[in-house]
Structures are given as C-alpha cells and as structure tokens.
Structure 1
Amino acid sequence: MKLTSSIVIGVALIIAAAIGADGLREMHTGDRFVTVKGVAEKEVEADLALWPIRFIATGDTLADAQQQARQSRETIVAFLKLQAIDAEAVELQRLDVTDTQANPYQNNSSGKRFIINQTLMVRTTDIDKVRQAGQAVSDLVDSGVVLSSDYGPAGPTYLFNDLNTIKPAMIAEATASAREAAQQFARDAGTELGDLRRANQGVFQILPRDQAPGITEEQQPAKVVRVVSTVEYYLD
C-alpha cells in the first residue's frame, strides 16, 4: 500500500514538473519580441488659404476715420481684383472702433481721437493666386493702407484638409516599413519573425516642407505629412 502511494506521488511530481517546464518555456518564448518603428512621409500642397488683411484708419472725428477706412477698404478690394482673386472669396469680418478720449488709459500713439481696426478675410482654394498676392502686399502700403498684425499673423495661412484621403496608404507604408525593420533584426539575431504582438498607429503630423528657424507650417503652401507607427513582433 505504501509502495503504491509512493508510485502515485512520484508520477504526480513528474507530471507537475513537466507541466511547469512547459509553462516556463512558453513564458520565456512570450518574452522574445522586438519593437520597431516604421515611418511614412508624403509631400502635399495646401488646399485652402486664409488671409486676414487687417488695416487701421484714424481721424480726429469719427467721420474722418470712417472715410479713411472706406478708402483703405476700396484700395484692398481693387488690389485683390487686380490679383484675380474672386470677390466672393473676400468678406468683411472684424470691425473695432475706439474713441481714445473715452478711455484715459488708452495708448493713443497716432494722436487721433478715433481709431478703426478692420479685417477683410480672403478664403479660397486658389493657393497660387493668394501666394502671388501675398508677395505683392507692399503695393497696398505704397497706396497708403496702414496694415496691422495686432490680432494674428500678418500673411496668409495655408491649410491642408485632405488628410483622411491619404491616411490608409500612409499607414500601410509605415507598417510595411516597420515589418521590414523587424525582419532585418530577426535575420541579424539568427531567429525567425513571429506573429504580431502589438501595434500603435502613431500620430499624423503636418510639417513645413522647408524647416527653418522662424518658419511655421501654416506659412508654407508645401507641406510634409509624417506618421511613425510602432509595432511589436514575436521572435520564434
């Protein structure tokens, strides 16, 4: 009876040891993986231009300031028409009138009582025309228009809104790049690449094509879309 019990216990210990060894091997294999990154980049052109043209008019009387503002506005509209920008792409937006005598703390460097700040917004998909007009903006200054940049950027802003169209192809490219890097790592390590363990698509970035100090992405019509995917593969 004692011999039989000993045999049963011995067999049970052998089975338990075998199961434990298999489990340890599986755990060890599960720890064998490689993390790689895949990069995809694509050069794109902006598909929308926003150009807030801000100007200032002053006068000793409100009528004088309004007259100057009217002249500046007409000059800007004529300038845009000369640049072949459709009138429907231009709209009047912000309008601020300040009476400097109403606020004793108002900084009135112009010496005029009334100050009118006004904005004409150009919104168009014709990027080339806006870019050309932006390069000739000094003509407005020569015509007596006092431009202002107190409320934002002085020049046009170029946007790219078609990101969803190029996303699938770029994700596929980044994933393929990551897998190629993982396969190269596996070959160098003398092992085989296994199944996918985990994947992170990454964040899409829109960057300026020409990266230089002081130049932002919004200022450039030409841009680069970039995504970096992080992928983990098991190693067999």
Structure 2
Amino acid sequence: MQQSSAFVLGLFLLLSAGALGMGLGSSVVKYKQLERTVSVKGLAETEVEADVVIWPIQFTRAGDDLAKLYQELERDTKLVKSFLESEGFSTEELTVSAPVVFDRLSNQYGQNEGGYRYILNQTLSLYSTQVAKARGAMVRIGELGKQGVTFKSDMYENRVEYLFTQLNAVKPAMLKEATLSARASAQTFADDSQSKLGKIKAASQGQFSISDRDKNTPHIKTVRVVSTVVYYLND
C-alpha cells in the first residue's frame, strides 16, 4: 500500500510539473508574440576646425661639391627657421631631420648620365596648434625662393596634415543629437503603424569618424556618428 501511494504521489507531482512547465512556456510564447519593437538609426554630423597642423617643409640642393652643398643646405635651414620664427612659431614647434644624400654615381647602374652628381634633401617639420598662422605662412614662404631656397614639391611626402583632437568636447552634444534623430524616425514609424512609441529597449553607439570636408579645405573636418536605438511599440 505504501509503495502504491508513493507511486501515485510521484506520478501526480510529475504531471503537475509538466503542466506547469507547459503553462509557463505558453506564457513566454504569448509574451514574445505581444512584444513589438522598432530598430532605428540616428545620424549626427558637425563641422569643426582642425586644431593641430603638421607641415613638412622640404628643400633641396644639387651639385658636385658635397661639402659645399652641406654648407648651402645649412644656410637654407637657417633661413627657413628664421622665417617661421618671424611668423610667430617657437623653436619647440620645429623639428629638423638629417639631410638625405643621393649620389647619382652610386646608383644601381653606376653611371652619371649628365647633370649634378649629388642631390641633398632637407626636411624641417612644423607641429603646431596655431593652424591659422601656419596657413598664412604657407602662402608667404615662397618668398624665400628669392634668397636661393629651392623647395621640393612632393604632394605625397610633403603633404600637410590637419588634425582635430578635441573629439571628447563635441561627443555629448552629438550623441544627444543622434538619439533625437533616432527617436524622430521611430516616432514616424509608430505613427504609421498606429502604435505608441514606448521606452528604449536597447541602444548602441556607433564609432565616431573624422574626415576632411573636401579636398580643397582639409583644415575643416566633418565629425560623424550613427547610433542604433531599439524602441518598444505599444498599442
């Protein structure tokens, strides 16, 4: 009798647990079916001025007397430095690299097909937060050509770089703008579906990107961010 009672009790508990599990499972399915959401993206863009400029200034000398070329290049370096200091830049903002010497007789063919034997290139780099001053100096530095300085124009090696380093200062306002943009899109979707826009279920911040506004104004940057927000929709 005791064994029979225990068996009946165990069977009853097993059936009860199964029924409860089925009931809970059905409730979860119904809840999932009732949960409606909309995922939208919000865009924020702003234009900013670069706050750092990196300006590599390269000048060159050519000839057959190497010692004389070094002297001439040293003179050119002093002229360029003096010019930049007169434009309001400090010596701490200037970096002079070692001269690069090219010997045309030591090339892979071992021949000099006419022209000077040696070519010396010197690079002086300006790293400064005085962007506007640097842009003005770029216009006037050509005047040194009247004093014998020969600048080397290489758009790849001597490309001026402009940087924007104050991203943290514009992040809060841009994230707010992106969220408002996303909410406006979600509200439109809710109105079209005759629903009410609910609370935020989830949100993710996209990466900030900084790019030149265009190729003619690289000192003006476009900062961009896209945020993804998921909202509940209520009937």
Q: Same fold (TM over 0.5)?
A: yes
Aligned to 2:220: 222
Q: 1:109 to 1:69 in 2, by over 3 A?
A: farther
Alpha-carbon distance in 1 for matches of 2:147, 2:139: 15
Matching residue's letter, 2:124: L
Aligned to 1:231: 229
Aligned counterpart in structure 2 of residue 29 of structure 1, from 30, 34, 40: 34
- Per-residue displacement from partner, 1:100-154 (whole Å, max 9, x unpaired)? 2222447978822222111101111111110101122332334432222458453
Q: 1:13 to 1:64 in 2, by over 3 A?
A: closer
Displacement of 1:186 in angstroms is: 0.9
How much identity, in percent, do the aligned residues show?
A: 39
Aligned counterpart in structure 1 of residue 135 of structure 2, from 109, 128, 131: 131
Displacement of 1:76 in angstroms is: 1.4
Number of residue pairs aligned between Structure 1 and Structure 2: 220
Q: 1:85 to 1:176 in 2, by over 3 A?
A: same
Q: 1:13 to 1:158 in 2, by over 3 A?
A: closer
Mean Cα deviation higher: 48-57 or 103-112: 103-112
- Higher-Rg structure is 2
Aligned counterpart in structure 2 of residue 117 of structure 1, from 115, 118, 121: 121
Give ranges in structure 1 of 5+ residues lacking alignment. Answer: 1-7
Kindly report structure 1 stretches of 4+ aligned residues shifted beyond 6 Å: 11-18, 106-110
Query: TM-score, structure 2 length as denominator?
Result: 0.79
Q: Secondary structure at the match of 2:99?
A: strand
Aligned to 1:162: 166
Alpha-carbon distance in 2 for matches of 1:131, 1:231: 41
Aligned counterpart in structure 2 of residue 46 of structure 1, from 43, 50, 53: 50
Aligned counterpart in structure 2 of residue 101 of structure 1, from 79, 96, 105: 105
Aligned to 1:60: 64
Q: Aligned runs of 1:185-224 on 2, under 5 Å?
A: 185-209=189-213, 211=214, 215=215, 220-224=218-222
Q: 1:107 to 1:129 in 2, by over 3 A?
A: farther
Displacement of 1:13 in angstroms is: 11
Matching residue's letter, 1:132: G
Matching residue's letter, 1:117: N
Question: Superposition RMSD on alpha carbons, in Å?
Answer: 3.0
Q: Secondary structure at the match of 1:145?
A: coil
Q: 1:52 to 1:110 in 2, by over 3 A?
A: farther
Alpha-carbon distance in 2 for matches of 1:49, 1:167: 22
Alpha-carbon distance in 2 for matches of 1:205, 1:133: 29
Displacement of 1:56 in angstroms is: 1.3
Displacement of 1:66 in angstroms is: 0.8
Mean Cα deviation higher: 183-192 or 73-82: 73-82
Contact 2:105 2:111 in 1 (8 A): no
Aligned counterpart in structure 2 of residue 71 of structure 1, from 65, 69, 75: 75
Contact 1:55 1:145 in 2 (8 A): yes
Mean Cα deviation higher: 18-27 or 91-100: 18-27
Q: Secondary structure at the match of 2:119?
A: strand
Aligned to 2:85: 81
